[in-house]
Amino acid sequence: MIKFNKVFMAYGKGTLALRDVSFHISKGEFAFLTGHSGAGKSTVLRLIYAQDLPTEGEVRVSGFRTAKLSRREVPKLRRRLGIVFQNFQLLEDRTAEENVAFALEVTGARRGVIAPKVTRVLTQVGLAAKARSYPTELSGGEQQRVAIARALVNDPFVLLADEPTGNLDERATRGVFQLLRDINANGTAVMMATHDLDIVRQTSFRTIELQQGAIVFDSATDDTGEGEA
Amino acid sequence: MALVVREAMLGFRRAPVLSALSITTIAFALFVVSLVGLVALNLRTALETVEERVEVVMYLRRGTPLDVITVAIGDIEHFPEVQSVHHVTEEDALMRARTELTEFSGVFEDLETNPLPASLEVSVRPGFRDEEHVRNVADRLSGFRFAEDVRFGQDWIAKLDRLRDIASAVGALIGLAFVAASVIIIGTTIRMTVLHRSHEISIMRLVGATDSFIRRPFLLEGAIKGALGGGLAVALCYGAFLVVSRLLLEGEFFGPLQMSFIVLFGTSLGLVSSAVSVSRHIKGV
């Protein structure tokens, strides 16, 4: 489903952000990407949603080889992914439901389809009652739920979450993380970049640890079997 | 389509001050260009009024029979450059001299014989009123056997030609300079609005919007701003025209076609500027 094969990624004047990264994420899997700031977690996610292209090696996402994607094909790939960021990336002058509906509108979905889908995902993230609220009227946790709802509305096969709890307090963090687990339990793969090891330790999900752009630990291939999902 | 219109309108609602600023900037840029156009239009009209007086006068030999003159008039009227031919008899010439040259009325009162010759006044069609064409007509008129003399005031036609050339060159140069300035100003203004919404564009890209989907509302917004700016420019120009007409001199204002052209020009500028700015911006997202 997502496959990195000997991926190198260099920014600017040859600064290596990823070195020889290889892994495979299966359908419905939950995987953490851990590591310090600058370890390359976000770069991995950016390569998956084709924001960046590998300098060397191959990234395959649901049959797409990202290096071979034309500019026209990138939206097709992104509509099959759900992406969530630390800073929510919501449009502040649109209500929660408008933010979610927007992700469907860009795909050309008909009005009759949009409304029930938006209601369904907002209910799923527990925000049906705040559908008409603007982001500034919502707490950080609620804003992240709206962002997750937006990411889910196109029924993605994988949800990419880049430090989704980074801006949240402990209680909101627990809520958002539980939501991601529920989403995964319903069959959607989740790849979550985080440096919050407390969350990672709570579960036995697969963990891929990056250090200076290289994978230094992958619980799926770890000989000791520690942390195996 | 409804979505494109809604998104474009949202653009106005989201940044009303910036939108108003863009429209005003476009309006003032086009206002200056339109003013140059208005001056050029009035200058052309003034020149045309002067040009209407361009004519070639063929003085006839005394005693030329009237039937010969009549045949010649028929021939001359068929010259492609000729608009009309007016026969001035010797008596007409004397009468005209008496009424028009009143200061010499005494000279013309006690004449025993009429010293003034008959003539054919040949007026030239618009488009042929330059020195070359007029001289060509004069040369052909000189070829008639009964032509005593042919005159067309070559000095002032040459000056008129020069004036026309200078006016066209200066008008085109100033007009082009102002059009170029307005293109830059409008382009920058539209670019500001695109940059203002760069966050939104990046979110659109992330949720899978195609480039054309992102571009369309911006194009419509740019076109609307350009059209409104163009309309405002025409209104400003009309205001300036009224003031000048009342205080300084009467003039001519743009016709409906020219006014539509200004609005269309604004619309096109808004559209093209938006297209360039958005495309440039999308590439970086």
Q: Is the pLDDT of residue B1 over 70?
A: no
With H, G, I as helix, E, B as strand and everything else as coil, classify residue A155.
Answer: coil
Q: What is the pLDDT of residue B280?
A: 80
| Average pLDDT over every residue of A147-169 | 94
CB contact under 8 A, B207 and A76: no
Looking at beta carbons, which residues of chain B come within 8 Å of A143? none
Q: What is the pLDDT of residue B168?
A: 80
**Which structure tokens are listed for B21?**
């600023």
Q: What is the pLDDT of residue B285?
A: 62
Which chain B residue lies closest to A89 (C-alpha atoms)? B203
Q: What is the pLDDT of residue B79?
A: 92
Which range has the top average pLDDT, B24-33, B43-52, B95-104? B24-33
Q: What is the pLDDT of residue B261?
A: 93
Q: Is the pLDDT of residue A209 over 80?
A: yes
Q: What is the pLDDT of residue B167?
A: 79
pTM for the structure as a whole:
0.71
| Average pLDDT over every residue of A43-62 | 94
Which of A71, A78, A91 faces B208 most closely, judged by CB atoms?
A78
Looking at beta carbons, which residues of chain B come within 8 Å of A90? 203
Q: Is the pLDDT of residue A227 over 70?
A: no
With H, G, I as helix, E, B as strand and everything else as coil, classify residue B69.
Answer: helix
In which band, very low, low, confident or very high, does the pLDDT at B55 lie, cut at 50, 70 and 90? confident
Q: A206 and chain B: CB distance < 8 Å anywhere?
A: no
CB contact under 8 A, B203 and A91: yes
Lowest average pLDDT, out of A11-25, A187-201, B187-201, B268-282, goes to B187-201
| DSSP letter for each residue of A81-149 | EEEEETT----TTS-HHHHHHHHHHTTT--HHHHHHHHHHHHHHTT-GGGTT--GGGS-HHHHHHHHHH
In which band, very low, low, confident or very high, does the pLDDT at A229 lie, cut at 50, 70 and 90? very low
- Which amino acid type is present at position B176? L
| Average pLDDT over every residue of A213-220 | 93
Q: Is the pLDDT of residue B243 over 80?
A: yes
Q: Is the pLDDT of residue A221 over 60?
A: yes
Q: What is the pLDDT of residue A228?
A: 42
Looking at beta carbons, which residues of chain B come within 8 Å of A108? 213
Q: What is the pLDDT of residue B176?
A: 85
Instruction: Give dist(CA A74, CA A72) in Å, integer.
Output: 6
Q: What is the pLDDT of residue B178?
A: 79
Instruction: Give dist(CA A132, CA A174) in Å, integer.
Output: 24
Q: What is the pLDDT of residue B121?
A: 93
CB contact under 8 A, A72 and B204: no
For residue range B157-170, list pLDDT tens digits in order: 778 778 878 878 88
Q: A49 and chain B: CB distance < 8 Å anywhere?
A: yes
Q: What is the pLDDT of residue B62?
A: 87
Q: Is the pLDDT of residue A25 over 80?
A: yes
Q: What is the pLDDT of residue B252?
A: 87
Q: Is the pLDDT of residue B102 over 80?
A: no
Which chain A residue lies closest to B14 (C-alpha atoms)? A93
CB contact under 8 A, A78 and B206: yes
CB contact under 8 A, A106 and B210: yes
Q: Is the pLDDT of residue B66 over 70?
A: yes
Give A76→chain B minimum CA distance, Å.
Answer: 7
Q: Is the pLDDT of residue B189 over 80?
A: no
Q: What is the pLDDT of residue A226?
A: 46
Looking at beta carbons, which residues of chain A come within 8 Å of B205? 75, 78
Complex-level ipTM = 0.84
Which chain A residue lies closest to B211 (C-alpha atoms)? A72
Give B15→chain A minimum CA distance, Å.
Answer: 11
CA torsion, ordered B105, B109, B113, B115, to nearest 10 deg: 0
Q: Is the pLDDT of residue B265 over 50?
A: yes
Q: Is the pLDDT of residue B94 over 90?
A: no
Tell which of A78, A81, A106, A134 to mutate to test the B interface (max B CBs under 10 Å): A106
> Quick one: B111 exposed, middle or buried, by C-beta within 10 A (0-12, 13-18, 19+)?
exposed
Lowest average pLDDT, out of A55-69, B221-235, B264-278, goes to B264-278
In which band, very low, low, confident or very high, does the pLDDT at B126 lie, cut at 50, 70 and 90? confident
Looking at beta carbons, which residues of chain B come within 8 Å of A72? 210-211
CB contact under 8 A, B206 and A49: yes
Looking at beta carbons, which residues of chain A come within 8 Å of B211? 71-72
For residue range A87-120, list pLDDT tens digits in order: 999 998 899 999 999 999 988 888 889 999 999 9
Q: Is the pLDDT of residue A20 over 90?
A: yes
Give B166→chain A minimum CA distance, Å.
Answer: 52
**Which structure tokens are listed for A173?**
């963090």
Give A204→chain B minimum CA distance, Å.
Answer: 30
**Which residues are registered as beta bridge partners of A84?**
A161
Which chain B residue lies closest to A84 (C-alpha atoms)? B206
Question: Between residues B106 and B172, which one has the greater pLDDT?
Answer: B172
| Average pLDDT over every residue of B243-265 | 90
Question: Between residues A135 and B198, which one has the greater pLDDT?
Answer: A135
Burial string for A185-211 (b: 16+ CB within 10 Å, else e) reads: eeebbbbbbbebeebbeeeebbbbbbe
The average confidence (pLDDT) of chain B is 85
Residues of B contacting chain A (CB within 8 angstroms): 3, 10, 14, 200, 202-211, 213
Which of A75, A91, A105 faces B3 most closely, judged by CB atoms?
A105
CB contact under 8 A, B207 and A150: yes
CB contact under 8 A, B210 and A79: no
Which range has the top average pLDDT, A55-59, B176-180, B219-223? A55-59
Strands A206-211 and A30-34: parallel
Q: What is the pLDDT of residue B264?
A: 95
CB contact under 8 A, A93 and B14: yes
